[in-house]
Amino acid sequence: MIYLHNLRTLGRYFNCLTMLYVLLASSACPQNVHAAETFDVALERLRSVSEGSGSQSSVKANWDVVSGADVAQLITILEAMKDVGPLAENWLRAAVDKI
């Protein structure tokens, strides 16, 4: 009976170690580079928004990416407001407000 209990405990530890390994391995992948590229693309698409320039759903998808950025990206978003139209500025301002 004690042996069976030890095997169950060992199995739980093994599962925890496996999950920890998967978590660490996935965080070491270059996903942050892809996220940065996605942020830059979404930011440029938001900068180019004007009346009749695209569907509301595609603009909203880009806004979701930009508004989900870190606080460290606020300066980049604020600088992106220069020389854009009023509609693009409104989307960018809303992203800043959400962050």
Per-residue confidence (pLDDT) for residue 78, from 0 to 100:
94
What is the Cα gyration radius of the chain?
Answer: 22
> For residue 32, what pLDDT is reported?
44
Q: How many CB atoms lie within 10 A of CB 79?
A: 9
Q: CA-CA distance, 86 to 83, in Å (whole number)?
A: 9
The full length of the chain comes to 99
- Closest C-alpha among 36, 88, 89 to residue 65: 36
Please, are residues 71 and 43 in contact by the beta-carbon 8 Å criterion?
no
In the chain, the amino acid numbered 50 is S
- One digit per residue, the tens of pLDDT, for the chain of length 99 reads 455 556 566 567 666 667 656 656 655 544 444 455 699 999 999 999 988 766 788 889 999 999 999 999 999 999 999 999 999 999 999 999 998
- Number of other residues whose CB lies within 10 A of the CB of residue 40: 14
